[in-house]
């Protein structure tokens, strides 16, 4: 039986180097926050038939507390006492060596918190302190341990991102943070991609002053001369008044009469004369009237008028 010689390879190495260059930050909350980037490793050199446990530990690195000053992190006093709950055993532990070596091992279920807890799903950290994660492999049969520190994954625990460059990298590479782009459109840092919400409507025909005016005043804007801006008027809906429907009914009922009149009769009456009233409907022809409606507004309905009954007959006999 050969002696196992475990090896650990950090995946997403180039991405971790980008965060290392700007001093990576990880959010800690009372309810717990998952890490990004996620620590993903590839194991090799294990005994395929042996059983191993894989553990992630995040101990404090150094003896200083830090603060963000200007564009960098600087030491600021002594560090606080580290928490006892600083490790997370992978949920697949223990398992065979062949299982661990068949694919990447991801610590995507670990949560970082600043609240003391005994829950094994959480790692308790102190805010504004520097940490360096490390992977510990333990052989279940012999009890041997192998420790692999990963300096590329160093980070400072924070309750809110301090460095704008770190925030830009998080948004750019984290698929779950794409919605954060819209909220930071006016405060984008270097390298932050500018995107437009898919729900935004094109406003190429409007000026910036029109946009601000419409936000503060929903009514149609007017120019300095008092004329209404047609760009806004065409989008304003006005319900027809009752007088409109009355005039429309009169026009329709009068159209059949005017068609039989000479052209001289179509001339408008003199100003001294009173306006002509609507003529009575003609028997046997289609006319319009305005009945009451259950919809709350009048509408036009066309009916046919029938000849009245003979005057000599009693209505009760019909």
Task: For residues 151 and 293, state if they share a domain.
Answer: no
- Residues 120 and 247 placed together within one structural domain of the fold: no
Range in 35-44, 124-133, 169-178, 300-309 with the lowest mean pLDDT = 300-309
Say yes or no: 119 and 247 in one domain: no
Alpha carbon distance 138, 111 (integer Å): 22
Q: Is the pLDDT of residue 295 over 70?
A: no
Q: What is the CATH number of the domain that holds 64?
A: 2.60.40.820
| Together in a domain, 247 and 139 | no
Higher-pLDDT residue of 145, 189? 145
Helix (H) or strand (E) holding 69: strand 60-69
Q: At which of 162, 195, 228 does a domain end?
A: 162
pLDDT of 286 reads 47
Whether residue 128 is predicted with pLDDT greater than 80 in this model: the reply is yes
Clarify whether residues 14 and 134 are in a common domain: yes
16 assigned to some structural domain:
yes
How many residues in the chain?
A: 318
10 Å Cβ neighbour count for 140? 14
Residues 25 and 158 grouped into a single domain: yes
106, 128, 162 - which closes a domain: 162
pLDDT tens-place string over residues 43-54: 999 999 999 999
156 and 247 fall within a common domain: no
Q: How far is CA 261 from the centre of its chain?
A: 66
Residue 155 domain flag: yes
Assigned domain for 65 exists = yes
* pLDDT score at 115: 92
Nearest-angstrom CA–CA distance, 113 and 159:
10
Crossing angle for the helix pair 164-173 and 13-21, nearest 10 degrees? 160
CA–CA gap between residue 120 and residue 117 (Å, rounded): 8
Poorest-pLDDT segment among 97-101, 199-203, 231-235, 313-317: 199-203
The verdict on residue 126 lying in a domain is yes
Residue 150 near residue 10, CB atoms below 8 Å: yes
Report percent pLDDT > 90 for the chain.
47
Does residue 113 lie within any of the structural domains?
A: yes
> Do both 132 and 247 map to the same domain?
no
Tally of domains in the chain: 2
Residues 153, 22 share a domain: yes
Classify residue 28: in a domain, yes or no: yes
The reported pTM is 0.57
Residues 247, 128 share a domain: no
Tokens of 198: 């898919």
| Mean pLDDT (whole number) for 73-102 | 92
Residues of the domain holding 32: 7-162
Q: 223-263: per-residue pLDDT in tens?
A: 344 444 444 444 444 455 556 555 655 565 555 555 555 55
Same domain assignment for residues 37 and 126: yes
**Structural domain ending residue among the three candidates 113, 145, 162:** 162
Report the percentage of the chain scoring pLDDT > 70: 55
């Amino acid at each position: 039986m050969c002696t196992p010689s475990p090896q650990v390879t950090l995946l997403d190495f180039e991405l971790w180097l980008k965060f290392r260059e700007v001093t990576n930050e990880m959010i800690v909350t009372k309810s717990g926050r998952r890490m990004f980037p996620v620590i993903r490793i590839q194991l090799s050199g294990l005994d395929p038939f042996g059983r191993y446990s894989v553990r992630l530990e995040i101990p404090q690195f150094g003896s200083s507390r830090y603060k963000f000053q200007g564009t960098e992190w600087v030491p600021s006093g002594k560090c606080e006492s580290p928490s006892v709950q600083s490790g997370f055993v992978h949920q697949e532990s223990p398992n065979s060596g062949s299982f661990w070596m068949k694919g990447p091992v991801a610590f995507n279920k670990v949560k970082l918190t600043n609240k003391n807890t005994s829950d094994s799903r959480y790692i308790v950290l102190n805010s504004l302190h520097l940490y360096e994660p490390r992977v510990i492999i333990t052989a279940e049969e012999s009890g041997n341990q192998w420790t692999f520190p990963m300096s590329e994954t160093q980070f400072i625990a924070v309750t809110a991102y301090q460095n704008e460059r770190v925030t830009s990298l998080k948004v750019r590479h984290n698929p779950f943070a794409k919605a954060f782009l819209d909220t930071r459109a006016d405060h984008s840092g270097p390298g932050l991609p500018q995107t437009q919400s898919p729900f935004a409507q094109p406003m190429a025909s409007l000026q910036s002053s029109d946009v601000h005016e419409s936000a503060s005043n929903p009514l149609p804007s007017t120019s300095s001369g008092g004329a209404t801006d047609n760009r806004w008027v065409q989008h304003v809906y006005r319900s027809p008044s009752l007088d409109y429907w009355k005039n429309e009914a009169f026009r329709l009922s009068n159209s059949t009469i005017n068609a039989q009149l000479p052209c001289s009769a179509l001339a408008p009456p003199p100003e001294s004369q009173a306006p002509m009233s609507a003529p009575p409907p003609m028997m046997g022809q289609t006319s319009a009237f305005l009945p009451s409606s259950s919809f709350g507004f009048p509408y036009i309905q066309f009916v046919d008028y029938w000849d009245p009954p003979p005057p000599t007959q009693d209505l009760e006999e019909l």
